A = this chain, B = another copy of it.
């Protein structure tokens, strides 16, 4: 059962998985999303409680659906 505290970590791991699958760097993902590189790093480490619209930006940049990044339940 996913606990609330794990949601950021599981989401971040999904972002990292898809970024690596595409063989792009955090810098490139930052550019594609217009978000700061440090922010992308923090998202991947599960440190960010990011918003709906940033989830959307990241999913589009990774070429996946928003629900794909939340498929850990």
| Bound Cα distance A5, B4 (Å) | 26
| Bound Cα distance A2, B67 (Å) | 13
Residues on B with beta carbons closer than 8 Å to the beta carbon of A25: none
| Bound Cα distance A48, B28 (Å) | 28
Residues on B with beta carbons closer than 8 Å to the beta carbon of A53: 4, 7-8, 49
Residues on B with beta carbons closer than 8 Å to the beta carbon of A68: 67
| Given A50-B52, A52-B55, 16 extra CB contacts under 8 A | A4-B53, A4-B57, A7-B52, A7-B66, A8-B53, A49-B51, A49-B52, A49-B53, A51-B52, A55-B70, A65-B70, A65-B73, A66-B73, A67-B67, A67-B71, A67-B73
